[in-house]
Amino acid sequence: MIGIQQYLTVSAALFSLGVLGVLTRRNAVNVLMGIELILNSANLNLVAFTRFSRLDAARDAARHAMDGQLFAVFVIVIAAAEVAVALAIVLTLYRLKRTPNLDEATSLKG
Amino acid sequence: MTPEAGIFYLFATVTVASAAVVVFARSLIYNAFALLFTFFGVGGLYLLLGADFLAATQLLVYVGGILVLLLFGVMLTHKLYNLNLRGEVSQLTSGIVAAAGLFAVLAWPFGWPFHFYGLAYRTDWQVNPGHAPGPTTHDIGSLFMGRFLLPFEAASILLLVALIGAAMIVRRRRDA
């Protein structure tokens, strides 16, 4: 029987791998991939809680039974906006420093 | 094992294994294509959870939009004659320790050693999986045009502002 714990385990594994990518990769595009993994794990949690809610999503939409899925749609929108702006910043960094590595952008270091 | 459990474990394995490739593989192209399979796996889990509209949105937006943008990012931030697209890592050991500890605290599922379980298994979830999932698109549409109209419009303006801002940031200024 697949319960909510199994989905939460997959989501926690995705989240941990995303955090690992953000912590260890030097390339800015790889860090963005880690952030996408984190956002996907959050979305998986939201959809799983919607599915296993005590409210019936098919009948109780007026009583907040669908709110998790709507929140997930907004998370997808934010992810699209975030990746567009972040890639613009990465391209500007590359044009300025000739490197995609985050730890070489040290102009503000004292 | 029921068919549902088999499909769940298939999608879960695809998702987690390709996410591991995203994090651990050195080649940026391998990372991007493994991310494709991660998005497909998460979309399959959405379908299994009865979220049909979200699964379609996941494929359209993530695979069709965000992944292509990331590939553009890979191509534009490397010299094109340099076919050796390597992403380097730093502080790998401490990062693995931190991420493994995070996963253990959140959802360690095995119960060994010391009968240790993660938070997902120690919480007494008040769940009711009994109701059958139905089509969700109609409800999502009427909620977006009803109770969620203000966040919907705010998200539209956010997208517009983000796209204009991204174009402004990468524009080559003549005065700079």
DSSP per position, B31-97: HHHHHHHHHHHHHHHHHHTT-HHHHHHIIIIIIIIIHHHHHHHHHHTS-TT----B--B-SHHHHHH
Q: Cβ distance A21 to A34 under 8 Å?
A: yes
| CA–CA gap between residue B33 and residue A87 (Å, rounded) | 18
From the CA of B60, how many Å to the nearest CA of chain A? 11
B129 CB within 8 Å of a chain A CB: yes
- Among A27, A37, A44, beta carbon nearest to B28: A27
Confidence at B2, pLDDT banded by 50, 70, 90: confident
Confidence at B111, pLDDT banded by 50, 70, 90: confident
Those residues of chain A that have pLDDT short of 70 are 57-59, 61-62
pLDDT of residue B72: 86
| CA–CA gap between residue B35 and residue A36 (Å, rounded) | 9
From the CA of B106, how many Å to the nearest CA of chain A? 6
Confidence at B74, pLDDT banded by 50, 70, 90: confident
B42 CB within 8 Å of a chain A CB: yes
pLDDT (mean) for B85-113: 85
Q: Residue B158 is encoded by which pair of tokens? A: 């956010």
Higher pLDDT, B81 or B115: B115
Q: Provide the whole-model pTM.
A: 0.90
pLDDT of residue B82: 59
pLDDT in tens, B17-44: 999 999 988 888 888 899 999 999 999 9
Confidence at B109, pLDDT banded by 50, 70, 90: confident
Q: Do A51 and B95 touch (CB under 8 A)?
A: no
Question: Considering only CA atoms, which of B27, B103, B34, B99 is closest in space to residue B63?
Answer: B34
Q: Is the predicted pLDDT of residue B124 greater than 90, yes or no?
A: no
- Chain A residues closer than 8 Å to B160 by CB: none
Using a pLDDT cut of 90, give the percent of chain B over it. Answer: 43
Q: Is B112 exposed, middle or buried (0-12, 13-18, 19+ CB in 10 A)?
A: exposed
- Chain A residues closer than 8 Å to B47 by CB: none
- Chain A residues closer than 8 Å to B5 by CB: 1-2
Higher pLDDT, B69 or B80: B69
Question: Considering only CA atoms, which of B130, B29, B145, B40 is closest in space to residue B87?
Answer: B29
Helices and strands, counts by H and E, chain A: 3, 0
User: Which of B85, B119, B139 to mutate to probe the A interface, most A CBs <10 Å?
Assistant: B139
Measure the CA angle with vertex B49, ends B47 and B55; round to 5°: 35
- Chain B residues closer than 8 Å to A32 by CB: 70, 73
Q: CA dist B168 to A89, B67, B171, B172, Å?
A: 10, 22, 5, 9
Q: Is the predicted pLDDT of residue B110 greater than 80, yes or no?
A: yes
Kindly write down the DSSP assignment for every residue of A7-29, as one continuous string: HHHHHHHHHHHHHHHHHHB-BHH
| CA–CA gap between residue B54 and residue A33 (Å, rounded) | 20
Q: Do B88 and A19 touch (CB under 8 A)?
A: no
- Chain B residues closer than 8 Å to A8 by CB: 106-107, 120
Q: Do A24 and B158 touch (CB under 8 A)?
A: no
Q: Is the predicted pLDDT of residue B53 greater than 90, yes or no?
A: yes
Q: b/e map of B116-154 (b: 16 or more CB within 10 Å)?
A: ebbebbeeeeeeeeebebeebeebbeebbeeebeebbee
Q: What is the average pLDDT score of chain B? A: 87
Q: Do B77 and A82 touch (CB under 8 A)?
A: no
pLDDT of residue A16: 95
**Pick from A33-42, B64-73, B81-90: least confident:** B81-90
Question: Tokens 């594994």 label which residue?
Answer: A13
Q: Using DSSP, state whether A82 is helix, strand or coil.
A: helix
Q: CA dist B41 to A80, A105, A106, B125, B147, Å?
A: 19, 35, 38, 25, 31
User: How many Cβ pairs closer than 8 A exist between chain A and B?
Assistant: 252
Residue B147, phi then psi, degrees to nearest 5: -70, -25
